Structures are given as structure tokens and as C-alpha cells.
């Protein structure tokens, strides 16, 4: 089924006006990431623990440094995608290095750049 001539253009114009009059917030605002990070549901706590373990495993493989692309293979269960960013950015485990690395791999994002983070040693690990 096709729309009569001009109807499709009118629809796009209407949607553009709606976006201007009532803009939608960006997807991953700091407030949203904080809400995801602090979600008290037990399943979310388990997700956070799993992602933290994946971060530590990736950091062990890469000399204490991680990118999201290096962490993803260590996430072996379904987790909320925003939770990965929330834990990496706000979890207190990592600090930014200011470096960028290519994602690599077979995904469509292989040539995109990812920030590199350094794992902050915990006091227990430092005491060993």
C-alpha cells in the first residue's frame, strides 16, 4: 500500500515539527545512567557484579587497561546495555586515560574509536 502523493511528505514535516516542539532527551543522559547504576533490584545488582568481573578479566588481559570492546567478550549473560556504560563510567572501578583505541573485531563498529580506561587497584589488591 502506498500513500497518496504528498501525504508522506506531510507526515515527515509533521514529525519534524513535533520533535522541535517537544524534543526527546538524549538516550544516555547522566541522570539515566545514574538511575540504571543505582537500580536496587537484585537482578541489576547481579548484572553490576557480572560486568565488574568482566572489567577485571579484561584488565588482566590488557595490562590494567580496558575499553568497552575488550570488556564485551567477558560478559557472558544478558545484561542491560546501559548498565555496561554506567558501570564503566560511574562504577568507581575505572579512570579515564585520555587515550583512544580502535574497537577492532568483526562488528560494524570495528573502525570506531573507544576510550581507554585504567583499572583503579582496590586497597585489598594493593596490599598484596
Q: Among the residues of 22-108, which ranges form H helices?
A: 30-37, 42-61, 68-71, 81-90
Phi and psi at 99, nearest 5°, equal -90, 160
pLDDT of 119 reads 94
Count CA atoms closer than 13 A to 117's CA, side-chain side. Answer: 25
**Model's pTM, two decimal places?**
0.67
pLDDT of 123 reads 61
Q: What is the CA 29 to chain-centroid distance, rounded?
A: 11
The pLDDT profile of the chain, 128 residues, written as one tens digit per residue, is: 455 555 556 666 666 666 666 666 555 666 766 777 677 777 788 888 899 999 999 999 999 999 988 998 999 999 888 888 888 887 788 999 999 988 876 667 778 888 999 999 876 554 44
Grid coordinates given for 33: 545512567
Domain boundaries, the chain: 27-123
Residue 110 vs residues 26, 32, 70: alpha-carbon distances, Å = 24, 27, 12
Grid coordinates given for 29: 543522559
Amino acid at each position: 500500500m502506498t500513500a497518496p502523493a504528498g501525504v508522506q511528505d506531510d507526515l515527515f514535516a509533521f514529525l519534524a515539527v513535533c520533535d522541535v516542539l517537544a524534543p526527546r532527551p538524549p538516550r544516555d543522559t547522566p541522570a539515566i545512567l545514574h538511575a540504571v547504576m543505582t537500580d536496587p533490584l537484585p537482578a541489576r545488582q547481579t548484572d553490576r557484579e557480572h560486568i565488574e568481573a568482566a572489567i577485571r578479566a579484561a584488565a588482566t588481559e590488557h595490562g590494567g587497561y580496558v575499553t568497552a570492546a575488550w570488556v564485551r567478550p567477558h560478559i557472558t549473560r544478558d545484561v542491560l546495555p546501559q548498565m555496561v556504560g554506567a558501570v564503566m563510567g560511574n562504577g568507581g572501578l575505572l579512570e579515564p586515560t585520555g587515550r583512544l583505541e580502535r574497537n577492532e573485531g568483526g562488528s560494524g563498529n570495528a573502525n570506531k574509536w573507544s576510550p581507554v580506561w585504567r583499572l583503579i587497584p582496590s586497597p585489598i589488591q594493593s596490599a598484596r
